[in-house]
Amino acid sequence: MKILHIITQKPNSTGSGVYMCGMINGFKKMGYNQAVIAGIDKDDNIKAFTDDISYYPVIYNSDELPFNVVGMSDVMPYKSTRYRDMDLDMVNMLKNDFKKKYKKSNK
């Protein structure tokens, strides 16, 4: 079985990211082939997973996404943009970059 995990936030840095990484570790023990599309800041370490996990980072504060990693809370362990503060251009940029990574992950 192949599993693709998708999250707009940083892996291992929020409740959602920690939960996703727990699922990845559990599925790894079961022998599943996995890939991840996840958001990181341009200054973050791009090496977030072991080599057996295909990783397609969506990079914030870059030319494609010139804003901080998105999230729901006012209090994040890193600089962030709340979803509710995003304008239509930001939403479209985010959707387009995730679509690119999704297409790349399916090759």
Confidence bin at 89 (pLDDT 50/70/90): very high
Beta-carbon neighbour count of residue 58 at 10 Å?
21
CA of residue 79 relative to chain centroid, distance: 15
pLDDT digits (tens, 9 = 90+) for 43-66: 988 888 888 999 999 999 999 999
What pLDDT is attached to residue 73?
72
Beta-carbon neighbour count of residue 12 at 10 Å?
12
Confidence bin at 72 (pLDDT 50/70/90): confident
Domain count, the chain: 1
Query: What share of the chain has pLDDT > 90, as a percent?
Result: 71
Residue 90's φ and ψ, nearest 5 degrees, are -65, -45
Q: Which domain holds residue 10?
A: 2-105
What pLDDT is attached to residue 46?
80
